[in-house]
Amino acid sequence: MRILHLISSGGYFGAENMLVNLAKGLHELGLRCVIGVFENSSDPHTEVAERARKNSLPVILIPCKGRLDGTAVRTLLSHIRNNQIDIVHTHGYKASFYAWLAGRNLRIPLVATCHNWTRATIPLRLYAFVDLLVLKRFRRVVAVSLEIAKALQIAGISPERILVIPNGVDVLNTYVPHDDKPEHNQITVGAVGRLVEAKGFQYLLEAGALLLPKFPFVNFYIVGSGPFRPELERLSQNLGIQSHVTFAGEQEDMASAYSAMDIFVLPSLNEGMPMTVLEAMAAGKPVVASAVGGIPRIVTSGDTGLLVKPGSVDSLRDALTRLIEDTALRIALANRARAHVSQTYSLAHMAKKYADLYETLY
């Protein structure tokens, strides 16, 4: 069976990471995956293609000159035929739209994964409206969390077409936990994600300014890129904590990035099923995360991590204070988190569920 995974990407973030991981997991099950990436002329991000190639996955690039490019549709259709694709699996609004345009005259099943389906802003509402019209014509729509599945159903997609498959990570081969640092060493509070306002990194910096007078040995390590970075850098300077904050940009070796952290934080205002939380837990790190989207289904507060109120600096400060002061709690949460991810959110578990779905459509 040949699967074309199709994406229009703005960098290498959660959806791209999940796509590459899934393709690797499916390959282990004997399915052939091709990664199709739109090479947009206005913003040609093809990092996911480069990462796929490094994982020995076949890649096709689809040049695209705008929101509606007939040549891109024909190129996609040609790739589907030449590669004898059996199922097209899309990730994101644009990929779904072009897959539908290309596949209208083909008797080929279309599957979409919705990583974070939201209508929070006017542009997103427009994209969601178009996406909804297209997804109603897909054979299956996969939601990465129950919350996204409910949003899709409320928007008008038939429940029979919706399937929930949580994200998974390669626990055994990629992330190796490291022992917690001695109690009196410096403590690194890490965060990973696209640097946009909705990720809430501004609240982490504000909490950091409250923590540092009491815990001057704490440093903050923020991994990721995005348009909000200059604002975050200015905020760290205005708060007077810039010497304690490192903006590391995108990191290809994320296992090493997680190993440098003692505590992982994701203070998002909205989420689907964030890969970064799963990865941090798999790496054996205690997690502090906002109680939004699918996060409370991953993290049980006080057992496999700590949940905080989204947008609350005080809640974030209090949770971090608990972990900074209590080494034993950090270790206990980290150990239970890794065990939980290994049992429930492994790459093998996710890949098997997608393989089973494809079999029902093939």
For 152-211, how does the pLDDT look when each residue is reduced to its tens digit (9 = 90+)? 999 889 999 999 999 999 887 777 766 545 455 799 999 999 999 999 999 999 999 999
Average pLDDT over residues 120-127: 59
Cut 0.85: pTM above it: yes
For 264-295, how does the pLDDT look when each residue is reduced to its tens digit (9 = 90+)? 999 999 998 999 999 999 999 999 999 999 99
Average pLDDT over residues 20-44: 93
pLDDT confidence of residue 125? 62
Which band of pLDDT confidence, cut at 50, 70 and 90, is reported for residue 82?
A: very high
pLDDT confidence of residue 118? 60
Candidate ranges 8-12, 51-55, 153-157, 181-185; pick with highest mean pLDDT: 51-55
pLDDT confidence of residue 173? 74
User: 114 pLDDT exceeds 70?
Assistant: yes
What is the Cβ-side half-sphere exposure of residue 50, based on CA atoms within 13 angstroms? 9
How far apart are alpha carbons 19 and 229 in whole angstroms? 25
pLDDT confidence of residue 123? 56
| Secondary structure of residue 155 in the 3-state scheme | helix
Beta-strand ranges (E) seen in 214-282 are 218-223, 245-249, 263-266
pLDDT confidence of residue 182? 47
Which band of pLDDT confidence, cut at 50, 70 and 90, is reported for residue 68?
A: confident
Which band of pLDDT confidence, cut at 50, 70 and 90, is reported for residue 122?
A: low
- By C-alpha distance, which of 95, 88, 134 is closest to 111? 88
- By C-alpha distance, which of 220, 228, 222 is closest to 195? 228
**Rounded mean pLDDT of the chain?**
92
pLDDT confidence of residue 288? 98
User: 121 pLDDT exceeds 60?
Assistant: no
Which domains, from first to last, does the chain contain? 2-168+347-361 (3.40.50.2000), 187-344 (3.40.50.2000)
Q: Which of 105-114, 127-136, 319-328 has the lowest mean pLDDT?
A: 127-136
Which band of pLDDT confidence, cut at 50, 70 and 90, is reported for residue 307?
A: very high
Which band of pLDDT confidence, cut at 50, 70 and 90, is reported for residue 105?
A: confident
Q: Which of 117-126, 229-238, 247-256, 268-277 has the lowest mean pLDDT?
A: 117-126
Average pLDDT over residues 322-332: 96
How far apart are alpha carbons 202 and 241 in whole angstroms? 12
**Contact status, residue 37 vs residue 7, Cβ threshold 8 Å:** yes
pLDDT confidence of residue 67? 74
- Which residues, in sequence order, are CB contacts of 249 under 8 Å at separation 6+? 223, 224, 225
